[in-house]
Amino acid sequence: MASANVRIFTAVNWEDEVLKASLPVLVDFWAPWCNPCRMVAPVVEAVADANAGKIIVGKLNVDDAEQLVKNYGVQGIPALLLFKGGNPVDRAIGGQNSQADLQAMIDRNA
């Protein structure tokens, strides 16, 4: 991962890092074997860098957090969910999302 502004979320740190966060949190539900996930990774990093201090951005490997995947109804990856106050408020599905798409999602919810 190239950007220092992208955190790694796990089932262990989920509550503290996402649900209790004081800022909105953009979570990239991904897997290392997922080609579209690898395609969207640079976009996620660019969004993290452009919004540093405004939102938190991180990645959750779906293979390591199956219960969280079920809890949030993630049926396909990549799935990018925006959390605010511990609740998902918006989502973008698929590898075709641009930086402008994700920024628009952040701007209308953050």
What pLDDT does residue 79 have? 96
Question: Is 38 among the domain residues?
Answer: yes
Domain count for the chain, please give it: 1
> Does residue 37 have an active-site annotation?
yes
Residue 70 lies in a domain: yes
| Domain presence at residue 78 | yes
Maximum pairwise Cα distance, the chain = 32
Residue 1 pLDDT: 47
Residue 69 within a domain: yes
23 is a catalytic site residue? no
Whether omega before 32 lies within 30 degrees of 0, making that bond cis, reads no
One of 6, 25, 26, 34 is an active-site residue; which one? 34
**Residue 1, in any domain of the structure:** no
At 3 the pLDDT is 78
Within 10 angstroms of residue 3's Cβ, the number of other Cβ atoms is 16
The pLDDT tens digits along the chain (110 residues) read 467 999 999 999 999 999 999 999 999 999 999 999 999 999 999 999 999 999 999 999 999 999 999 999 999 999 999 999 999 999 999 888 899 999 999 999 97
Report pTM.
0.94
- Domain, as residue range, for 54: 6-109
CATH number at residue 15: 3.40.30.10
